[in-house]
Amino acid sequence: MYRKQVRRRRAVLVLLIVVALVLISATFSQSNSGPLHSVQQGVASVFAPLEDGASRALKPARDLVNWVSETFNARGENSSLKTDVQKLRAQVARLQSAQGENDQLKKIVGLDRKPVFAAYKMVTARVVGASPTVWYSTVTIDEGSGVGVKINDPVVDGDGLVGRVTDITHGTAEVTLITDNRSAVSARVLPNGPDGVAEPEVGNSSNLLLDFIDKNQAIRQGEMVVTAGWSNGAISSAFPPGIPIGEVSDATVGEQETYQRVHLQPFADLRNLDLVQVATGGPKRPGVAE
Report the pLDDT value the prediction gives residue 130, as an integer from 0 to 100.
87
Residue 223: which residues within 8 A CB-CB, separation 6 or more? Answer: 189, 190, 247, 248
Report the pLDDT value the prediction gives residue 134, as an integer from 0 to 100.
59
**How many residues appear in the chain?**
290
pLDDT of 176-234, one tens digit each? 999 998 899 999 999 887 999 999 987 676 789 999 898 888 899 999 999 998 777 77
* Side-chain-facing half-sphere of 126: CA atoms under 13 Å: 3
What is the C-alpha to C-alpha distance for residues 60 and 121, in angstroms, rounded to an integer? 81
What is the C-alpha to C-alpha distance for residues 225 and 260, in angstroms, rounded to an integer? 15
For the entire predicted model, the pTM comes to 0.63
What is the C-alpha to C-alpha distance for residues 231 and 286, in angstroms, rounded to an integer? 8
Report the pLDDT value the prediction gives residue 70, as an integer from 0 to 100.
75
> Other CB atoms closer than 10 Å to residue 277's CB: what's the count?
25
pLDDT of 143-186, one tens digit each? 999 999 999 999 999 899 999 999 999 999 999 999 998 899 99
Looking at 2.70.240.10, 3.40.50.2300, 3.30.70.100, 2.40.10.340, the CATH number of the domain 119-290 comes to 2.40.10.340
Reply yes or no: is the peptide bond before residue 283 cis, omega within 30 of 0: no
Q: Indicate the DSSP class of residue 236.
A: B
Domain coordinates in residue numbering, the chain: 119-290
Sign of torsion over alpha carbons 172, 178, 180, 186: positive
What is the C-alpha to C-alpha distance for residues 158 and 146, in angstroms, rounded to an integer? 23
Terminal Cα distance for the chain, rounded: 120
Report the pLDDT value the prediction gives residue 246, as an integer from 0 to 100.
94
